[in-house]
Amino acid sequence: MRLKKELKIPSESFQEIIEGGTKLLVPKKSLTDKVPPKEPAFFNPKARVNRDFSIIAYAAFLKNFQGPKIFLEGMSGIGARGLRVSNELKVDNTIINDLNPTALKMAKYSANQNELKNIEFSEKEVCRFLSNHSEKGERGSIVDIDPFGSPAAFFDCGIRATMHGGIFSAAATDLQVLNGLFQDACKRKYGGIPVRVKYGNEMAIRLVLGCLRMVAARLGVEIIPMFVESEMHYYRIYVKILNRPDQKKNLGYILHCKNCGHRKTSTEQEQKCELCNSEISVAGPLWIEDILDKKFIQNMLVEIQDLKVDKVCERTIQKCLAESEMPATYFTLDEIASKMKASPPKLEKIIQSLEQNNFAASVTAFNPTGFKTSANINEIIKIFQSTQ
């Protein structure tokens, strides 16, 4: 029996679209309603760029990966990401899992429409699914988790299901928790506390990575962040998994002075600001080392040329490349201008001025008016004043 007949898809409720190079059967209401409904199955058309970034990152990873190329998706919905991986990338096998049988039927229909042979379907609770792939020979080279809310509950089973040298990727949509509105909830879920700051999205991603690092340490596993992504409604991390203990001091704190704006990372907490002696706000514990791997980002830029993705992706990845070796945390033009009570100069001009004064400086993908630099707040203001 053909899948199309078996599904009995009512034409007024479902629609076929093309995303990237892949045909997808989606609920019509997900294309017309302001908030995509969860019934009969969830699909968010606005997350297309999110999926585009995944395709680029996974293409860059697969290009140089020598082992079996197996993609495991724990919470697939209608299977948009997994179907695209199976159809647009060179993988040996894709296994997509979801608890919604209607979503899986739609995914099977789409797989049929794309004539995919290298794809399997699973209807299990996500950790049960991943646990079934936690033994040697069963693990994925890419493991992807895209939950509603926090991914922290799935870190243990996700790491166990990722083979040595593989990529584990997870999204977080509980932005209010991660950005400091509910500190107790953040500490409970991620083991660290945020501070309300202008660069809150970067701090949030470092909290997610810090939590993953703590779980990985218990399992004797090392994580290496390769790429991160920050959008209005979600954060996403991509990390390499290595089956060896991590001896590095990559967990610590962001120390932020709300009086003068000075901030820095440290493995130890401090009480007073080293610039103005005011009380310090402490965020963490969180990840304090690099969150972007320069070589991996370069490989993403190479792979993007052969993929059907949104043009915004390349511009964002170029910014990631520029900031890949910069210090943690960024400043914004408005933040500096408000301290000086002056109108902000152009971004290019301030970066150029910082470099001319022998400081490292770059744009950042986290904020269109943001910049990263090795200069501290006092040094930045001094240079700002000279550009007025």
> Does residue 270 surpass a pLDDT of 50?
yes
100 and 234 in a single domain? The answer is yes
Query: Domain for residue 278, yes or no?
Result: no
Cβ-in-10-Å burial (0-12, 13-18, 19+) of 327 comes to middle
What CATH number corresponds to the domain at position 204?
3.40.50.150
* Burial readout 100-134 (b: 16 or more C-beta within 10 A, e: otherwise): beebbbbbbbbbbbbebebbebbeeebbebbbbbb
User: Could you report the per-residue pLDDT of 186-209, keeping only the tens digit for each?
Assistant: 999 999 999 999 999 999 999 999
Query: Domain for residue 322, yes or no?
Result: no
What CATH number corresponds to the domain at position 344?
3.30.56.70
Taking phi over 0 as left and psi of -120 to 50 as alpha, with beta for the rest, 338 belongs to: alpha
> Does residue 4 surpass a pLDDT of 60?
no
pLDDT band at 150; cut points 50, 70, 90: very high
Query: Domain for residue 237, yes or no?
Result: yes
- CA gap 330, 202 in Å, rounded: 8
Query: Domain for residue 173, yes or no?
Result: yes
228 and 129 in a single domain? The answer is yes
pLDDT band at 8; cut points 50, 70, 90: low
- Please give the tally of structural domains in the chain: 2
Tell me what pLDDT residue 3 has: 45
User: Could you report the per-residue pLDDT of 66-125, keeping only the tens digit for each?
Assistant: 999 999 999 999 999 999 999 999 999 999 999 999 999 999 999 999 999 999 999 999
Query: Domain for residue 317, yes or no?
Result: no
Tell me what pLDDT residue 9 has: 61
68 and 213 in a single domain? The answer is yes
- Residue range(s) defining the domain that contains residue 148: 3-253
Residue 278: both structure tokens together: 């005011």
133 and 244 in a single domain? The answer is yes
CA torsion through residues 306, 309, 313, 314, sign: positive
Query: Domain for residue 261, yes or no?
Result: no
Asked which of 253, 284, 315 is the last residue of a domain, the reply is 253
40 and 181 in a single domain? The answer is yes
Give phi and psi for 120, each to the nearest 5.
-125, 165
Tell me what pLDDT residue 11 has: 63
355 and 231 in a single domain? The answer is no
Asked which of 218, 253, 288 is the last residue of a domain, the reply is 253
Q: What is this structure's pTM?
A: 0.96
Query: Domain for residue 271, yes or no?
Result: no
> Does residue 44 surpass a pLDDT of 90?
yes
Asked which of 238, 253, 268 is the last residue of a domain, the reply is 253
Query: Domain for residue 160, yes or no?
Result: yes
Q: Which residues contact 34 (CB under 8 A, 6 or more apart)?
A: none
Residue 217: both structure tokens together: 């340490």
Query: Is residue 304 a contact partner of residue 313, using CB atoms and an 8 Å limit?
Result: yes
